Amino acid sequence: MVVRETDLTSGAAVKGPLFAPFDARIAALAATPGKFALLDAAKFPYTSPEPGVRLVDLRPLLAEKAPAAAP
């Protein structure tokens, strides 16, 4: 997942739609006090191809949720 840090600030939602069609839901969640989980480098390790951009590998999270393969 590509994460632009500027998109995860409290003022980003007022600039316009970022996550259509989920803008309203995300704006409501972003309006509550707290920090964005994807900015927690301990929980979501990332590489950064350029300042302000994070590449978060979500495959390990999907592997944890995948059902076990049949024998």
Give the count of domains, the chain. 1
pLDDT at 23 exceeding the cut of 70: yes
**Is 60 contained in some domain?**
yes
Q: Give the whole-angstrom CA distance, residue 6 versus residue 62.
A: 26
pLDDT tens digits for range 34-50: 777 888 889 889 999 99
Q: What is the DSSP letter of 50?
A: E
**Domain of residue 24, residue span:** 2-65
The predicted structure's pLDDT at residue 21? 76
Other C-beta atoms within 10 Å of 14: how many?
7
Tokens matching residue 60: 């390990």
Asked if the model's pLDDT at residue 14 lies above 90, the reply is: no
Q: Considering the chain, what is the average pLDDT of its residues?
A: 79
* 8 has a pLDDT exceeding 80: no
Question: Residue 71 domain-assigned?
Answer: no
- Residue 43, SS3 per DSSP: coil
